[in-house]
Amino acid sequence: MVNFQKLKNIILSNNTFLLTTHVNPDADAIGSEIAFYQILKALGKKAYIINHSETPYNLKFLDTDNVIRQFNLDDYADYFNQVDVIVALDFNRSDRTVSMQKNFERAKAIKICIDHHQDPEKFVDYEFIDTDYSATGEILLSLITETKLVQLTKEIAEPIYAAIMTDTGSFRFERTTAKLHRKVATLLETGVNPTEIYDKIYDQSKFSKIKLLGRALESIQLSANGRIAYMIITQKDFDEFGAIESDTENFVNYNLSIENVVLGLLFIELKNVFKVSFRSKGNIPVNKLAAEFGGGGHTNASGARFFDRNMTSEIINQILSRAVSYIK
């Protein structure tokens, strides 16, 4: 249960804020940052948004004020020591900030976390976390509606809609309830255009992404008598098509579209990291599977990153072996 009055008091009692989110941000991450920024702007507060990763090209339309900055030590390290509050949005472990981790941890500012993922790390002063919410953006919507902190405008509603729409799989995942639809209706009443937002996020892909998707689909293999499906993307694939990491968003879900498959995996080889995405159906807790390899997330959607290992057949087989134990 989120203490919205406490969150409201922290916001009103301070003047300068630094907002950040996790590596390789999705629409919930970017949408939550922009929505929170617009809330602070409406209150006359000063806010900065600084992320480790560049904003994916299909989400840049959410940043209408062009305020998101990509972190580098020379330009932005001092920002962590110049604000009253640092806000971690849509993540609950400090290592998810990657290059900013030391600056985040050493900062003297009040640190708060607003998130909906499971198994949070104790890395902030105040946690506003509830796993019952469909998205971090939904938490921000409840902050507004329950405390009357600001008026819900289209500038705030649009990024919140993008956050909720994407994190619910376009309103088909488990946390898509009648209550959530009533909340989303209030967003549409501000003038948000759902057709336009869906088109910008999902139907304006670069050609390189579609070519990479083809390679990923071509790589799909089945395991555990057809109950597990997995795909592999190598650095060579990225180089061949000129694609980037954010292009792989939602690729892993294609595994679950195969009949009888209940657990899907996506193995991604990048220049400096090896990444695994986990997805499942029903009550298969892939967050626990991901945790075995230093990752985490939701029951049915999780991930893990390896900064000290290459993608080898050995580690792939090790993860597949452990995955089998979760479907028995």
Residue 70 belongs to domain with CATH number: 3.90.1640.10
Give me the sheet containing 228-233, strands edge to edge: 221-223, 228-233, 263-269, 274-280, 301-306, 296-297
Q: Are 183 and 161 in contact (CB under 8 A)?
A: no
Whether residues 180 and 221 share a domain: the answer is no
Whether residues 41 and 84 share a domain: the answer is yes
For residue range 247-257, list pLDDT tens digits in order. 999 999 999 99
Give the residues across from 228 on adjacent strands.
Answer: 223, 263
Whether residues 231 and 157 share a domain: the answer is no
Identify the CATH number of the domain in which residue 248 sits. 3.10.310.30
State the pLDDT at residue 200.
98
Q: With residue 306 as reference, give the H or E element that holds it.
A: strand 301-306
pTM equals 0.93
State the pLDDT at residue 41.
98
For residue range 213-255, list pLDDT tens digits in order. 999 999 999 999 999 999 999 999 999 999 999 999 999 999 9
* Number of domains observed in the structure of the chain: 2
Residues in the chain: 328
Q: Are 293 and 304 in contact (CB under 8 A)?
A: yes
Which of residues 202, 226, 246 is at a domain's end?
Answer: 202
Whether residues 179 and 296 share a domain: the answer is no
What's the domain range around 225? 207-327
Whether residues 66 and 103 share a domain: the answer is yes
Which of residues 155, 187, 202 is at a domain's end?
Answer: 202
Which of residues 139, 173, 202 is at a domain's end?
Answer: 202
Distances (CA, A) of 190 to 150, 187, 201, 292: 14, 6, 20, 44
Whether residues 198 and 211 share a domain: the answer is no
Whether residues 189 and 225 share a domain: the answer is no
Whether residues 88 and 232 share a domain: the answer is no
Whether residues 224 and 311 share a domain: the answer is yes
For residue range 266-316, list pLDDT tens digits in order. 999 998 889 999 999 999 999 999 999 999 888 999 999 998 788 999 999
Whether residues 264 and 185 share a domain: the answer is no
Whether residues 10 and 153 share a domain: the answer is yes
State the pLDDT at residue 309.
80
Whether residues 128 and 70 share a domain: the answer is yes
* Regions of the chain short of the pLDDT cut 70: none
